[in-house]
Amino acid sequence: MADSAYFCPLVHEGVLAVRGPDADKFLQGQLTCNLNYLKGGSSSLGARCTPKGRMVSSFRLLPDRDGFLLAMAGELIEPQQTELKKFAAFSKSQLFDESGIWSRFGLIGGDAALIGLGLDLPPEAGQVVRNGELIALRLEGGRSELWAPAEQAEALQSQLAGQLPEAPLERWLLAQIRAGIGQVFGATRELFIPQMINLQAVGGVSFKKGCYSGQEIVARMQYLGKLKRRLYRLALDGDEVPAPATELFSPVHRTSVGEVVLAAPAESGIELLAVLQEDAAEDGRVNLGTLEGPALRLLDLPYALNHELETQR
């Protein structure tokens, strides 16, 4: 279901813009990703953390004219803008909620539609191409995004609908789950450090850049190997989709051993990403909500954790 061609309006996220002469320097001291890697038309996953290394937001970031755009869960835009403004006051940077300025569409199997718009997108994740005011991004798992000024949204949606079926947001979220890309929502704010959602495995954390908020904790967890929780993909029967932050339980500890990150309906039942203790995952007995709740089954992720490769970024 998630793999057939379609497009989907991405209405669950907003766009935070950071603009000004010091935007790159300012964000470099705030975010887990390395902005120096974004030269020449590319995007990156990333996060912003508390001094204790807990993520207050995660996002996809790309350069745009005099600054950067960060696409994140809609409910995080206002608090992130408010918090970052306190630090931006000391630099030549300004923050804007540009959620109403941009319309965004997710595409599966939509390369021909993008080419018809003058956007010949390379296959490698992170690549970005532009044609006038249109932007196309390649995402993990072969997915892509199309960004356009909001005033073009209606005409663009009609054009896409002539080539691709429109799908509900749940199908896009399922594709994200199958790509193994975790995300912070309002309910999971300050719950995870970046490695708990495998952000370092998908290029969202740089261990070669300078300091940023929470950097010491994030680096210590990477190099000392003390982290006992990470992201897993799981499935369960039923049709009730669990919300982010729903707890998972295991008889290994008889207490909470993890939390749901993102869930969506699949062809049969539910698929989800969850942060889970390694020993509970190895045991295999994991239940949703309570020890007596629905049983979860472990599924594969499309990538492997590689400590040596991750620390080279």
Measured distance CA(90)–CA(93) in Å, rounded: 8
Measured distance CA(248)–CA(288) in Å, rounded: 5
* CA distance to 72, 98, 275, per residue, from 13 (Å): 5, 11, 22
Asked if residue 3 is part of any domain, the answer here is: no
Query: How many domains, in total, are found in the chain?
Result: 1
pLDDT of 207 above 50: yes
Measured distance CA(178)–CA(302) in Å, rounded: 7
pLDDT of 269 above 60: yes
Asked if residue 142 is part of any domain, the answer here is: no
Label each residue of 140-177 as H, E or C: HHHCEEEEEEHHHHHHHHHHHHCCCCECCHHHHHHHHH
Q: What values do phi and psi take at 111, rounded to 5?
A: -60, -40
Measured distance CA(162)–CA(233) in Å, rounded: 34
Domain, as residue range, for 217 = 186-311
Measured distance CA(282)–CA(105) in Å, rounded: 38
Per-residue pLDDT tens for 143-157?
999 999 999 999 999
Per-residue pLDDT tens for 19-73?
999 999 999 999 999 999 997 679 999 999 999 999 999 999 999 999 999 999 9
Per-residue pLDDT tens for 284-309?
999 999 999 999 999 999 999 887 78
Q: Whole-number mean pLDDT of the chain?
A: 95
Q: What is the pLDDT of residue 196?
A: 97
pLDDT of 1 above 50: no
Asked if residue 211 is part of any domain, the answer here is: yes
Q: What is the pLDDT of residue 262?
A: 98
Asked if residue 21 is part of any domain, the answer here is: no
Q: What is the pLDDT of residue 89?
A: 86
Asked if residue 221 is part of any domain, the answer here is: yes
Per-residue pLDDT tens for 208-245?
988 999 999 999 988 887 789 999 999 999 999 999 99
pLDDT band at 3 (very low <50, low <70, confident <90, very high): low
Residue 209 maps to which CATH number? Answer: 2.40.30.160
Q: Output Rg (C-alpha) for the chain, integer angstroms.
A: 19
Residue 74, token pair as written in the block: 């809609």
Measured distance CA(131)–CA(151) in Å, rounded: 16
Per-residue pLDDT tens for 155-195?
999 999 999 999 999 999 999 999 999 999 999 999 999 99
Asked if residue 54 is part of any domain, the answer here is: no
Beta bridge partners of 96: 17
Mean pLDDT of 96-124: 97
Q: Is the pTM of this model over 0.85?
A: yes
Asked if residue 239 is part of any domain, the answer here is: yes
Asked if residue 65 is part of any domain, the answer here is: no
